[in-house]
Every structure is written in C-alpha cells, then in structure tokens.
Structure 1
Amino acid sequence: MSATVLNNLQCRKLLWFSDARWAEFLKTSAFTLRVCLSVGLALLVAFVVQLDSPMSTVTTVVIVAHPLVGALISKSVWRVLGTVVGAGLSVGIMGCFVQSAWLYFIALALLVGLACMTASLLRLYRAYAAVLTGYTIIIVAFAAFSHPETVFMSAMMRLSDVVVGVVSTAVVFMVTCPRRSTSVYQALNDAFLAVLQHAHSFHGNQASVDMIEGAAFRALPEELYDSRQAVLKKLTVLTPLLEYAASDNPDIKDHLSSYKMAVNRMAGVVASYHPHWKNLHRPHAQFRGLHSYTTQILDEILDAARDQNWIENPEKILYVLEAGMKSLTVFEKDEGLTPESRATVENIQGLFRSLRRIVEDLSEKKSRAIVRVSPYLEWPTAIRNGARGTLITLLACFIWYVTAWPTGPMMMMYVIAASSLLSTVPSASKGSTAMAIGTVFSIPATWLYHVYILPQIDGYGLLWVSLCLFLLPGIWLQFHPKYSIGAFGYAVFFAVQSLVTNEMIYDDIALTNTWMAVICGAVLLVLVFRVLLPPNHASDAMMIMKALRKSVNALTRASTRHLPNPEQWQGDQIQKLSRLAIKLSFLDQKTTARSLLDQAFSLVSLGKLILELRQKAGNPFEEKIVQMFLYDTVLRSQMVSYESLGNGGLVSNIDQIQFILKHIGNK
C-alpha cells in the first residue's frame, strides 16, 4: 500500500475514529437512546390514562432530559414545583380578571416579567422553577380562554402531563444510567492538574520572560492568557457538576462543601497570578533561583497528581509542599533580598499554602469550618430580561386582542415560553435568534410528519418510532455548544406542534394557523430581544468592574471586627470574575475585553493581599498604621480605580503591601 494511501487512512482515523470522538459519539448515542425510551414510556402512559394532551408529556421529556442523573432529578423537582406555582397563579389571575381582558393581560405580563427576572437571578435549576412558573401560567390559560370555568381542570391536566413526563424520564435514566462518581473525581483531578500547569507556565517560562523589556503585562506569551481563560472556564463548570452529582450520589453529597471549597481555592490560585508578572521580567539570580525551585516543586506535584488515586493517599503531595515551604525560609534569610524578591517569596509561599489546602479539601485530610458563598446577583441583566418578558407578553396580547386571531393564544404561549427559557442563558439576545431559527426549522419537519408520516400510522409502535425519528436532530445536537439552543427550540416546539391526540383529527387550516402563530412569535421574539431591548454587554461588564472595585475599597475602610472571611470574600469575587468573562466574550473589541479582565484579576489579587495585611496586624496600633498605609497608597492614589489599573503602579503597591506584611509578621 502506498504511503499516500496510508497517510489518508491515518488522517481519516484521526478525524473520525479518534478515542475522544468515539467516546463522545457513544455518550451522545446513549443519551439519545434513553430520551427515546423515555418518550415511548411517557407517551404510552399518557395514552393509557387518556390524558387530553399526550404530546405535553413528550415535551416534558425533551426539556428535563439530561446526561447526568443528578441534574435530571434536580431539574425534574424544580419543574414540578414551578408547574404547581404557575398553575395556581394561572387559576388566580383568571378568576380575578375574567371580566376584564386588559387587566388580565397586564397581570399576566407582570407575572411573566417577574418570573424572567427571577430566573436570571437564580443559579442552576433553581432558576428552572421560575421559568416553569412563567410559562405554565399561559399553558394552563391557553386551554381555558374560551371557557374560563374550565381553568382549574386545565391546571390539573397540565400538572398530570408534567408528572407523567418527569416520572417516565426519571425511571428510564435511573434504571439505565450507571450512577458512578468516577467522572466527578476525574473532573476535579483534571481541574487541579490544569491549575498546576497554569502555575508551572508562569514559573517555568523564565527563558522567554527574560527577553521581555519593560513592564507591560500583555508582553508575556499569549499562551499564559489562553491558559488562564481555559482554567477559569473549567472551574466554572465544576460547581454545577458537583451540585448535580450531589443530588444523586450520597458520597459526593457528604463531601460537597469540601469539594466546592477546593474549587474556590483553585480559582483563587489562578486569580493570584496576575501580579506575578512584575517580578517575572527581572533577570536577576535571586529571581531565577526562586522560579527554578518553584518549577521543580510543581513538577513533582504534577507527577504525583497524574495518578487519580492520589486523592485517597495524598501524603506524597503534602510532603512535597511542606518541604517546599520549609526550603523557602532559606531564601528569606538572605540579607541582600530586595523588597521585590521578598514579595516573590511571599507569592510562592501563598501558592504552596493554597495548594496544600486544596489537597486537604479534596482528600478530606483536615476538617474545616464550612464557608458559604452567596450567589452573585446580576441585577442589570435580570431587570433587562424581566422587561423583555413583560414587553413581549403585552405585545402578543395586544396583537391577539386587536386581530381576534383564533390561534393568537398559541403565539402568546410560544413567546412567553421562549422568553422564560431564554432568561437562564448567558446572552438571551443571542439565544433568541438561535431559538427562533430552531423553531422555524421545526415547521417544515411538522409538515412532513403530518402529510406523509402520520396518516400511515395505525399503532402505538409506529407512532413512537416516527416521533423519535423526527425528534432525533434536536435531541442529538441539544448538548452541542454551538447548536444547543436552536436544537432545543426545534425539539420542544416540534413536539408542541405535532398535535397528536388519542383520537387523531386532521385539520389543515388549524395546523396552518398554528404554524403562522409560531412564525409570528419567532419574529416577535427576535424583535424584542435584539431590537427593542438589545443587550448591553459592555455596560454590564463595567457594572461588574464597579462592584469589584467597591468590594476592594470596602476592605480598606471596614473595621477589624467586620472584615469578611478571606475564603468567602474570594468566592464572591470569583463569581464576579466568571460572570465578567462571559460578558466580555460577547464583545467585538477583544483587546478592550482582555484589558478589562486583566484589571479584574488585579482587583481580586489586591483585595486578597489587603485582607491578609489587615489580619496580620496584631494590635490596635499596628491596625491603625496599616489603615493609614492603605489610605495613602490605595484610596488617595485611587489605585483601586479600574481606569488606572493598567500601569505598574498597582503592582508596586502590592510589593509594598507584601513587604510591610512581612515586616509585621516578623515583629
């Protein structure tokens, strides 16, 4: 066989049959098969108990299905809770305003806006309860607009549909999914390795760093900044993963607080590396020795951590870290050590202490008090999404009221459901376009299904197989980052438009009206989310920066008794960093985005050092001296102002702070 043919085969194997691609293919196939089984079970139960809208159970399956059983359970519980609240509110406002259409519309719009705002504020699937509250109101009312007296029965029927779908999905996934904690431990270990590699990149990159002239932070190799973004993204994903796993795994639930604290500390290590660049570009023997020794220690830890079993037996890593901290005292005893060198030693000691605590948290070698970090509430985004939900509901109600369109309630149901679902995504404006496109794609699929497939079906088996065949694209692509929202919209609204009932009635006019209502709803969705109330990611990012600056300024003014717990304060700021990184990823000006993120990391680093300095003050006199120093170097010179964080003054102040901190500690 020629070399060309062999190369082609090797390329083909690399592209299509690599281990990573094959593993992903098997995972997606298993998830799709479980969803199809859940659809079959839910549909069968709906037909057996003769629910009025059996396809609502299919819609529930598509929405709550998740590869992680813990996430599915959490999602299902909050879905049922949201459905109960939404059904109750729907019955309440229908009863209060049954004689006044516009009062009903206003009440509906306000409740939907409140639900969208709450969904934007909450995290994980707690937000899902608010989402379900929002669009359950219209789903229940949809069937009772012509006969308001039936609204209670409509609410009970909706709750029955949701419960059947949730229970069917839970049964299938819990029976077929092996509930192992191996993947969670693997994710924790991978994140720890990524943090170690990031630290190693700073200390081990001395050869190229020595060539840098000047003190520009962005003069460092670009790989360092890419690594920082990748590590931060990996750590951001870990928190919900742990929450979901704890819902289904008692072992992880027992250790959840320690694992979350370890993730918080790992993010703190990444954030603390921002000021290190000031000392990295100094080509002196002192700095070379410090960074060379740190690189050696990190190499030993990396070798030990590559074996995932180290979590059960972490003594080797703890021994290496303890030896490293003891060896740093040799550098400290050097009388000729400059303040900058002392700051570097302090940075490295802080790194080793943080790594030791991470290892102890992951292996539970040392019990610690539980530190609870409150979720960061992003009010500007929440208020904007609430306003979008209110406005789009009022517009849809107005169109239906003026045109007296028989299918107008379907348009209302679509825009309210889509708005509620979009309130939980990072960029609702960007997601609205993808949701609208996926919904529009479901219309020709529904046409093909009703015209060519459904009339040929004469039994449950063929109905189940045909539905799964048409739902397949949406299910398969639902967890692909690029197409997830569009695929979700396709699958959900294909199920909504299928109109499969216990006694099939083919009505082309009603079906066409439904399609027109969905198209109008998709246009209205994009109009409100992209044109009337467009996003302002730059303003949101500046608000987060303002909150960061305010938090750091508060540390300089607070009394010693009211200083926050360092780990809790760090956790609060890491949440802001994660939200800021998401907002900046949507900006077109990447240079400005990178600069703002650098400034945010500087703020977190400075805040940690200020807290440490405040806590090292041993008596009221030292505390007064420290506060005067902070006032002179931070507040009066406005070094915490994000407009001036790009220069070297901030890091010079950090060096001074660390030098005084060391001086107080020695005294």
Structure 2
Amino acid sequence: MSLQQARLSMRDWLVTDGHVWLHLAKTLLAAFIAMSIAMRLELPQPRVAMTTTFVLMQPFSGMVLAKSVYRFAGTALGMIAALALGAVFVQQPELHALALTIWVAACTALAVRYRHFRWYGFVLAGYTAALIGIPAVTDPNSLLIATLTRGAEVMLGIVCSSVVSALVFPRHASATLTQSLDARRMRFAAFAADVLRGRLSRIARERRFADFVDEIVGFEATRGFATYESPAMRQGNGKLAQLNSAFMDACARLHALDQSMKRLRASDALAPFFEELAQNFESEALKEHLERYKATLPKRLRDAQRALPHTDHATQLDFTTSAELLYRFIADTIRYLSIPNHRAAPRYDARTSRFVVVATFMRTGIVIAATAWFWIVTAWPSGGYAVIGATLACALSSALARPSKFIAQMAAGAALAIVIGYAYLCRVYPAIDGLALLCAMLAPPLAAGAFLAMRPSSAGYGIGFCVFFCLLAAPDNRIVYDPGLLLNNGVAVLVAMLGAAIACAVIVPPRTRWLVGKTLAQLRAQAALACEGKLAGLGERFHSGTHDLMSQLRALLTRRSREHRHALLWMLVTLEVGQAMIDLRRDSRALHTACIPDALRIAWSTSLARVLRDIAVLFRTPDSRTLRRAIASVVASIVIAEDMLERTRDERSRRREVQRVLACLHFVRTALVDPDAPFDAHR
C-alpha cells in the first residue's frame, strides 16, 4: 500500500470508526479522572462521580456542556428537595417515602413535558432526591452529610466530563450542523424537482415529507446544544433558527403546491411553468435562478391566464389558485435559501399532550410507591436499592416510546454488572495495588458497556451495565469486601426493574391507542390554532408545534403501518389548511375595502368569522356533520369574495388583494372535499 493510500485509509477510519474509539477513550478518561480525584479528596463514594461521567459523556462537546448545565441545575434542585423533605418528614418514613414518590413522579412528568436537555435536568432533580433521600428514610441524622457529599461527587463528575470533552480532541456539533444544512438543501432541491415533474408516487411523497419532520426536529435539538460550544454559535443561533423556520415554510408550500397539481384542473396550463421551475431546482446557483424566475413570473402568469376561456369560471379560479401557490412557494424557497437577517430568533414551540404528562406521572408514582411500600412494610435491608433502581428505570425511560423494553434491557445489563462485579470484588480488587492497575482492570468492562450504550439498539444494555456496575461494584475509598451485600443489593435492583418493566407495559404505556389518539387530537388542534391564535409569530408557532407533535407520533407508531399513515395524512392536511388559514387572515387584514359597499363588507366580515370558527371545530371534532358545515361556510365566503372581486374590477391593486383571498378560500375548499382527506372515515 502506498503512503497516499494509507493516508486516505487513515482519514476514512478517523471519520467513521475512529470517532467511536475516540469517544470510548474520552469516556474512560473522564471516569477515571473523576474517580481518582474523588479518592484523593477522600469523598465517601467515588463511584457516584464515575456514574455521572458515564451518563454525561456524549460525542460532541456542546452536548456534554449542555447536559452538564442542566445536570448541575437538576442536581442542585434535587439536593434542596431532599433536604426539605427530610426536614419536614423526619422520623416519619411512610410520609417521607410518599412525598419523595410524588416529587420524583412530578419531576419525571415535567421531564416529558420539557424535552431535549431540559428533560435531563428534571430527571436529575427527581432521582438525585431519591439517591440522597432514600437512605435517610431509615437514618435521618445522615441527611445533611449525605446531601453535601453526594452533591460534591456529582459536581466532580460534571466538571471532569466537561473538561475532557472540551479539551481532549473536541468534536464540535457546529461543523456537523453546517454539513447537515448543505445536505438538506440538496435533498430538498432534488425532491422539489421530482414533485414538480410528477415523478414520485403518492406514498413516496408522503414518506419524504415525513422524513423532513425528523430532520427539522433533529436540527432544532442540535442547534440547541451547539450554542454551548462557542460565542460565534451563540451569536448565529438566531440565524439558524430562522433557517429551520424557513425550511418548515418551504416544505409546507411544496406540499400545498403538490396537492394543487393533483386537485385543480389548471395543472395542464401551468405544466410549462412547473417544468421550468424543476430545471431551476437542478441548477447550481439555485437562489439566483429562482429570483430571476420570480421577477418575470407574474406577467407570464397573466399572459397564460388570458389564453384560457373567459367563460370557464371554474378553470379561471383553479388557475388563479395554482398560480398563487406557485408564487408563494418560490418566495418561501428564496427566503429559505437566503442568509437570514438579524431579527429575533423564532421560537420553536415544543408541545407534549397533557394526557401524556399525566400518564407519566401516574405510571412513575405507582411503580415507586409500590416499591417503597413493600420496602417499608417488610423492612427489607436492600429495599432502598430497590426504590433507587425503580426510580432510575422510570426516569431514564420516560422519554421513550417503549419504556418497558428499555427497562428490560437495563435489567439485563444490571444482571451482567452484578456477575462481573462479584468477580471483581472477590478476585480482582484484592489483587490490585495502585491506581494505575485499578484503572487498567476497570477499563475493559466499562469500555464494553459504553460501546453498547452508544448504539440505539443496545443502549439499554450499556446504560444498565455502566450505571449499576459503578453503583454496586465500583471501588470506594474504603472497599467493603462483602459479596453477600453486593448480591442482595443487586437482586433488589433487578426485582425493582423487572417490576417497573411490567408496570410500564401495563399501566397506560405510551403506545396505548387512547394516548396516541390524544396526541393526534393535539396535532389536529394546530389547525384550530391557525384560526384562533394571535397573528404575531403565528406561522412559527404553528409549524414548529405541528412538526414536533408529528415527530412524537412517528416515535410511537410503527413505520409504514396504517396508523402511521393515518397520522401522516392528518399532519399534511393540518399543514396545508392551517397555512392557508394563516394566509387568509393576513390577506384579509390587508384588504382595502373603501370601494366595497358597507353591506358587502359586513357580510364578508361575518362570513370570514364563520369560516375560522367552523374550520377550528372541524379539526377539533372531525365528522361528517362538522365537515359539511365547514364546506358550506367556505363556499359561502367564496361567493362573497367573488362579489367583492367584481366590485374591484377596475382597480388592479385592489383586485389582486381580493384574488389572493379567493385563492386561499378555494384551496381550502379543495382540501375539504378531497376524497383522500382523513376528515370523515365513513365518507
């Protein structure tokens, strides 16, 4: 092999498998530094500092720093809660356990409500209070010392993880973010060209729009923790947020244009325009080509419309609607491709159904309360570890669609940790002399666990192994060689986790049809938000909320199943109708009605209010009755808008304003009467 080939092979390895080995090495380095410092400072449980590093370490520096910030806040809040509960319910183990259960369940429910790295802060606030407070149930005199030492150990793990991630061969999410932006632009351009040429089947188009949902939500999460990496990323955070918002708008416009090509009869007249636009999307300088195309488009569209039969009113209206959608798609695509200005960053509206939050609270509370009750009633010596195991299981699995499966994997990893920990306690630790040899002997099992934790399919096994190997069998400053204690505590953890897995599979699991239906109802209600919400910033709130809810449904439902496609159809129709209602409200506000008689102006205001009300009711309670009423309201508004259009025939600018309103109404009507729409299952 030549020197150049060797360099290319090394470079390829570094960007693939090399990242995996680098992450493993940094994780072990942070864990061993935290353990060493904790032993040097004579903290009672260096294992807690080690556990912190395994939970914190992530591939990118920004992820670790963001996680550290929220872990620091969550740990501090958990320490305060543990002290407060221990002081209020001193020598009252039943009330103390009940209050602690409510606190942990509330924190876990809030973690589900506030996701991403805020999730981790709330989770830490819950199970830090449990880690400190559970031993204090039977020994309240040790509460203050346990709180201070546990806080010091956790903070030490946070500092070590952050320092190693930021200084030792750091990987920055900002570079990945830039690459993902370029790749997303190319994918969007290729997809838009295929849509405009009608090359894709309906199923293929729907799946591609669904993939865009994952990209939007993933980009938002990456943008959130990339701001922790450098001041430049914090300054550019607003621009990135605007880019993601503009991408959501462009995707919605493309879907609306695709639907108009299917439903409206003017598609043949606009076919040359679609072909030219597709060619522009295949060009290198896409933004410049689109700007030139947009500048000449209005006149060319007017010329093409004059060639249509003037007596065919339906075709004329179809052409006006399709032309308006085409123009708005081009304008929003140019905005997406442009460098954003320095206005305030749009807020990404992450939404979680309150029913999901309540179900998480109930499920977590029942599991922890049952475990704590059994511990107190039976005076089980290792019952405290059982409660801690149940708390960790419920907390770490709270954001997953299949928590029972993840907890079962954690239990399997914990079982392996008990076996290997027993061997280390009996055979390895007595034969070790010195910190260097201790780290060398701990490296193989911990590296294997960290490797499993990096892969989504085996993350539960790896997390369970690393966390419980450290908690149950990692060395302390004063090692207690008691294999019986290790086995008893390990059995308690296993029993609690298996019970938690069963409970999470039985007590309102996240994939329950009723619970999924509530999330779907909240997704549909986004269209009602478009009809009723304040117009300032409404577009950003509408699109981000809709995409976030669909991302949750995609995690809950089996891909390519009938339920998944049904939810996807609702997302698409919510996007097209909701965006049309926002456009309708904005265009109606911009109408100049000075030349319109008072009676017609009043009739229009009344009709518009009825349309907004009936569309909102339709999406909240879709059935044949609300569908017919919404269609009737839209048709009545179209009649009034056409009358206003006739009154503004001699004023070109006023006529253009009314045409925009009429195009929105006509597009909404075509969406409501579409036989493929999911409004009425019995239609």
Asked if these proteins are the same fold (TM beyond 0.5), I'd say: yes
Residue of structure 1 aligned with 2:293, choices 318, 324, 341: 324
> Structure 1 432/269 Cα, relative in aligned 2: closer, same or farther at 3 Å?
farther
| CA apart distance, 1:569 | 2.7
Residue of structure 1 aligned with 2:449, choices 458, 471, 474: 474
Say whether residues 1:191 and 2:181 are aligned partners. no
Tell me the residue number matched to 1:292.
275
Q: Deviations over 1:208-262 (max 9, x none)?
A: 7xxxxxxxxxxx3533233222222122111111111111121121111221121
Mapped partners of 2:163, 2:250: distance in 1: 41
Residue of structure 1 aligned with 2:53, choices 49, 61, 64: 61
What is the letter of the counterpart of residue 323 of structure 1? Answer: R
Say whether residues 1:580 and 2:553 are aligned partners. yes
Mapped partners of 2:531, 2:152: distance in 1: 56
Say whether residues 1:616 and 2:579 are aligned partners. no
Q: Percent identity?
A: 19
Tell me the residue number matched to 2:543.
570
| CA apart distance, 1:20 | 7.5
Tell me the residue number matched to 2:225.
244
Tell me the residue number matched to 1:635.
614
Q: Which moved more, 1:131-140 or 1:415-424?
A: 415-424
Say whether residues 1:259 and 2:254 are aligned partners. no
Q: Is the 8 A contact 1:232 1:270 kept in 2?
A: no
| CA apart distance, 1:284 | 5.8
The 5 A counterparts of 1:536-575 are 536-556=511-531, 565-575=538-548
Mapped partners of 2:578, 2:342: distance in 1: 26
Say whether residues 1:598 and 2:576 are aligned partners. no
> Structure 1 391/642 Cα, relative in aligned 2: closer, same or farther at 3 Å?
same
Q: Is the 8 A contact 2:206 2:568 kept in 1?
A: no
Mapped partners of 1:623, 1:451: distance in 2: 87
Say whether residues 1:88 and 2:102 are aligned partners. no
Q: Which moved more, 1:496-505 or 1:245-254?
A: 496-505
Mapped partners of 2:660, 2:451: distance in 1: 61
Mapped partners of 2:615, 2:143: distance in 1: 64
Tell me the residue number matched to 2:311.
none
Mapped partners of 1:644, 1:42: distance in 2: 64
Q: Deviations over 1:402-447 (max 9, x none)?
A: 2211111011111112212222334434433333333333232323
Q: Is the 8 A contact 2:109 2:357 kept in 1?
A: yes
**Other structure's SS at 2:457 match:** coil
Q: Is the 8 A contact 2:253 2:328 kept in 1?
A: no
Q: Deviations over 1:515-564 (max 9, x none)?
A: 21111112111122112343344333322332343342354467xx7675
> Structure 1 442/636 Cα, relative in aligned 2: closer, same or farther at 3 Å?
closer
| CA apart distance, 1:29 | 0.9
Q: Is the 8 A contact 1:540 1:583 kept in 2?
A: no
> Structure 1 125/636 Cα, relative in aligned 2: closer, same or farther at 3 Å?
closer
Say whether residues 1:277 and 2:235 are aligned partners. no
**Other structure's SS at 1:482 match:** helix
Q: Which moved more, 1:493-502 or 1:547-556?
A: 547-556
**Other structure's SS at 1:248 match:** coil
| CA apart distance, 1:153 | 0.5
Q: Deviations over 1:72-131 (max 9, x none)?
A: 111112112111111121122122212222111211111111111111111221121211
Q: Deviations over 1:428-486 (max 9, x none)?
A: 34433333333333232323333443333222112112222111122113232222233
| CA apart distance, 1:648 | 13
Tell me the residue number matched to 2:194.
201
Mapped partners of 2:471, 2:430: distance in 1: 18
Say whether residues 1:177 and 2:169 are aligned partners. yes
> Structure 1 405/500 Cα, relative in aligned 2: closer, same or farther at 3 Å?
same
The runs of 5 or more residues in structure 2 that have no matched partner are 1-8, 309-314, 594-599, 643-654, 662-683
> Structure 1 236/562 Cα, relative in aligned 2: closer, same or farther at 3 Å?
closer
Aligned residues: 618
> Structure 1 287/430 Cα, relative in aligned 2: closer, same or farther at 3 Å?
farther
Say whether residues 1:432 and 2:407 are aligned partners. yes
Mapped partners of 1:637, 1:40: distance in 2: 58
> Structure 1 622/186 Cα, relative in aligned 2: closer, same or farther at 3 Å?
farther
CA RMSD across the alignment:
3.3
What is the letter of the counterpart of residue 583 of structure 2? Answer: E
**Other structure's SS at 1:144 match:** helix
| CA apart distance, 1:619 | 4.2
Tell me the residue number matched to 2:359.
384
| CA apart distance, 1:608 | 0.7
Q: Is the 8 A contact 2:530 2:538 kept in 1?
A: no
Q: Is the 8 A contact 2:110 2:357 kept in 1?
A: yes
Say whether residues 1:393 and 2:364 are aligned partners. no
> Structure 1 299/280 Cα, relative in aligned 2: closer, same or farther at 3 Å?
farther
Q: Is the 8 A contact 1:195 1:269 kept in 2?
A: no
Residue of structure 1 aligned with 2:420, choices 445, 461, 472: 445
Tell me the residue number matched to 1:664.
658
> Structure 1 564/643 Cα, relative in aligned 2: closer, same or farther at 3 Å?
farther
Tell me the residue number matched to 2:393.
418
Tell me the residue number matched to 1:307.
none
Q: Is the 8 A contact 2:363 2:503 kept in 1?
A: yes
Mapped partners of 2:615, 2:448: distance in 1: 59
Q: Which moved more, 1:57-66 or 1:574-583?
A: 574-583
> Structure 1 92/593 Cα, relative in aligned 2: closer, same or farther at 3 Å?
same
Mapped partners of 1:623, 1:327: distance in 2: 37
**Other structure's SS at 1:173 match:** helix
| CA apart distance, 1:159 | 0.6
| CA apart distance, 1:19 | 8.7
Q: TM-score, normalised by structure 1?
A: 0.85
Q: Is the 8 A contact 1:538 1:584 kept in 2?
A: no
Residue of structure 2 aligned with 1:234, choices 215, 238, 246: 215
Q: Is the 8 A contact 2:614 2:633 kept in 1?
A: no
The 5 A counterparts of 1:90-239 are 90-178=82-170, 180=172, 181-206=174-199, 220-239=201-220
What is the letter of the counterpart of residue 274 of structure 2? Answer: H
| CA apart distance, 1:380 | 1.6
Q: TM-score, normalised by structure 2?
A: 0.83
**Other structure's SS at 1:371 match:** coil
Mapped partners of 2:632, 2:14: distance in 1: 51
Say whether residues 1:517 and 2:492 are aligned partners. yes
Q: Which moved more, 1:135-144 or 1:335-344?
A: 335-344
What is the letter of the counterpart of residue 635 of structure 1? Answer: D
> Structure 1 648/583 Cα, relative in aligned 2: closer, same or farther at 3 Å?
farther
Q: Which moved more, 1:626-635 or 1:321-330?
A: 626-635
Tell me the residue number matched to 2:676.
none
